[in-house]
Chain A
Amino acid sequence: MSDQIPDVIVEAAHVTRSFAMPAGDVVAVRDITLSITSGEHTAISGPSGCGKSTLLHMLGCVDTPSSGTLRFDGQDISALNDRARSLLRLRHIGFVFQRFFLLPMLTAAENVELPQSEAGVARDERRRRSLELLEYVGLGARADHRPSQLSGGEMQRVAIARALANRPRLLLADEPTGELDQATGEHVASLLDRVNADGTALVIVTHDPDLAGRARRVLTMRDGRIDGEVRQ
């Protein structure tokens, strides 16, 4: 084990997120304090509606806490405007979604090129990196296929390649195997393990105990709070 102290990527301190509803405020996340360090593999599990996705969205800087402090690389997220948060996500955070959200009119390679295009990467470099990533996820031969020509597992692998396009330090996955059968989900889970082993910090939200069990740190949530933490 390395003697180096891992650097903290994202740090939440007494974070609460509530939503205004006609019947009164609904508190999705209550007073959570946690940090994610580089190279870490964390799973957040718990029943539906316990606040896992809301917490993930805050860790990914797509949502801001109602109270408490959230820092990414030491920067207070609440103090950043939308443009700065977008730039931060573009450069440092990758997202994998349950429903893939690939653009149907683009090929697999073009989908992977998208975040690089937003980051201003030159066309040739984008293409090279996209093909490299598609090879990495085992879909080098399907680069010119559109999402409609791919299976669910293949689409999720393209989505993982897209999330890695700008070499993020943190990869967030929200129920990445939720729409896949067990065998395909296992394949995607192995790929995520490999991404983490190659140095990217990984946070997975899942209610699948098998997927959560692959993480070195498992946080269990209930009613918006972290109910338990297991390190393995």
Chain B
Amino acid sequence: MDKLFLPVLLGTNRQNRNSVHPARWLVGQMQQRGFTYFRQISTVLTTITVSFALLLITVLLTVSVNQRLGEVAALRALGFSQRRVVLDVLFESALIVGIGGLLSLPLGAALAVWLDSILKRMPNLPAALHFFVFDPQALWIHGGLLAATAVIAALYPMRIVARLPIAATLRDEVTG
């Protein structure tokens, strides 16, 4: 973190605070650096969120697939190809991630407006300044992250389904 930025936030750099208003100085610093810190924090939060989502969806899909091994084995016995049952798992992952991704857009927009209004309560900020500005490129990044999450989260459950021994699974389902 920048040595100048942190003291202003903590209110300990008296020299700077006395000469320029801290909020203006802070905004000046952020504008000079293209809101680098803000973006870095945003990247860290996104990485953490995506990692947790990935883990959660992998666990959900794995549990879901493990509960349906008998049905999957039965479908394979009835002639469903390995490719078809593997693609079904991928589709399920895409569906979960897709629904979550779509819901996240209005929720994220509402959250951005709310946070923006809080941050803008700082005194002496220019009225035109916004901390959250919609960038169309973000939609592409959002879509890319969702697609990557759907595929990576489905890898392990797809492997379970692909390697499922049909006869042994049918036998185990009956004998318990």
Chain A positions within 8 Å of B, measured between CB atoms, are 53-54, 57, 60, 62-63, 82-83, 86-91, 93-95, 97-99, 101, 103, 114-115, 118-119, 162-163, 166, 174-175, 178
State whether B70 touches A99 (Cβ < 8 A): yes
Q: Tell which of B19-27, B79-87, B95-103, B142-150 binds the partner.
A: B79-87
Chain A residues positioned under 8 Å from B166 (CB to CB): 57, 62-63
Q: Which residue in chain B gives the minimum CB-CB distance to A89? A: B79
In the docked arrangement, what's the CA distance between A54 and B171, Å?
Answer: 8
What does DSSP make chain B's interface, helix, strand, loop or mixed?
helix
Chain A residues positioned under 8 Å from B170 (CB to CB): 53, 57, 62, 97, 174
28 intermolecular pairs with C-beta atoms under 8 Å apart = A53-B174, A57-B171, A60-B77, A62-B76, A62-B77, A62-B167, A82-B82, A83-B83, A86-B79, A86-B80, A88-B79, A89-B79, A90-B78, A95-B74, A95-B78, A97-B74, A97-B77, A97-B170, A101-B70, A101-B71, A101-B73, A101-B173, A114-B75, A115-B79, A115-B80, A118-B78, A119-B79, A166-B79
State whether B78 touches A163 (Cβ < 8 A): yes
Q: Which residue in chain A gives the minimum CB-CB distance to B166? A: A62
Chain B residues positioned under 8 Å from A83 (CB to CB): 81-83
Chain B positions within 8 Å of A, measured between CB atoms, are 70-71, 73-84, 166-167, 170-171, 173-174
A-B contact count (CB 8 A): 76
Chain B residues positioned under 8 Å from A178 (CB to CB): 174
Q: Which residue in chain A gives the minimum CB-CB distance to B82? A: A82
